[in-house]
Amino acid sequence: MKNVYLDNAATTQVRESVICKMQEALSTYGNPSSTHSFGRSAKTGVESARKTIAKHMNAHPSEIIFTSGGTEADNMILRCAVRDLGVKTIITSKIEHHAVTHTVEELEEKQNVHVIYVNLDGYGSPDLIHLEELLKKDKSKKLVSLMHVNNELGNKLDIDAVCKLCKDNDALFHSDTVQSIGHFTWDMEQTPVDFMAAAAHKFHGPKGVGFAYIKKNTGLKPMIAGGAQERGCRAGTESYHNIVGLEEAFLNAYDNLEEEKAYVIGLKKHFIEKVQKEIPGVQFNGLSGDIEKSTYTLVNMRLPVDQQKALMLLFHLDIKGIACSQGSACQSGSGKGSHVLNEILSEEERKQPSLRFSFSKYNTKDELDYTIGVLKEFVEK
């Protein structure tokens, strides 16, 4: 039995250089807020990481706020935009990550925020004509929250078009970019999103650390009360070793982006071509089978087996040493199925099992061939 990890959209293997940097950082035990030499040493590391990220994104260092990950960043941005910026209407979609959908549901229930869901096409992409209609509907202060890369389908949003629509209609724009930072380049002057969220563990960094991009002078105040850390935007002692690990992962991601992107695109193309050849009737959900319109890091596909047989699929893959996902990792064990697939698939289509396979630089074509062989055996027996 092989061990094949194809669940990189859930989390990625940490790079060896990241582990080494974090081990070094653990010996720098000063509090970054302390003024003595021990504290100043840690503070220098935190600010170096902030400047590194800002430089690669063509942003200002003050716009990068370190958090515990994407969920905290999404929550902070959405909640504080309502509290501090007078947002009365949030326009989003029903296939966002639960860090967004559950937050806006709570804001609607407890803060009387008007939440509107933009229409989706049959592939799960937002209808931008409908979005424009919603933006022009009334004069209330609006915030649009649409993810750049869907974590289950891999669909890529036309983020530049959404930026323009929001700017033309005086609306704020927040994008969950957890699946895209570290995999796509960013220039915040050319793509003027107001707010973004990122998590280090999606690009071979440590878990438990990420950042929020908050455009300067927006007026957001801290969600967590306490000290004046993170330029007064996020109280709490900075997780120095995690921030150093994030910086190293971020640098590696962008220093090696073109080479690693080309390699992973090759894996995805190989997987799509071979699975279509070996398993007739396989279908790709959303746009994940389209290299141009989806992220190069994942595919979400539906197998031609009945509902009863489908119950054993993940167990079968697991005992063969293959790790993948039936939905996002955040939903595992919920028993409710994927809220994303429930939105775009018919009742009959939902009876067939859907799997998300997500790739990284650490995967090989041999691993993909083994996986497809296991799937073929399961479908045919």
Q: Which residues are annotated as catalytic? A: 330
CA distance 73 to 233: 11
CA distance 131 to 161: 11
CA distance 364 to 201: 20
Instruction: Give the residue among 182, 227, 160, 202 at the shortest CA–CA distance from 71.
Output: 202
CA distance 252 to 267: 20
State residue 156 phi and psi, 5-degree precision.
Answer: -100, 130
Tokens, residue 107: 């804001």
Max alpha carbon distance in the chain (Å)?
68
Q: CB-based burial of residue 260 (10 Å sphere; 0-12 exposed, 13-18 middle, 19+ buried)? A: middle
325 secondary structure, DSSP code: B
Tokens, residue 119: 């229409």
Coil, strand or helix at 103: helix
CA distance 103 to 83: 13
Tokens, residue 353: 């099992």
50 secondary structure, DSSP code: H
CA distance 271 to 259: 19
275, 142 in Cβ contact below 8 A? no
Neighbours of 228 (CB within 10 A): 11
C-alpha to C-alpha distances, 283 to 153, 288, 300, nearest whole angstrom: 12, 10, 9
Residue type at position 206: P
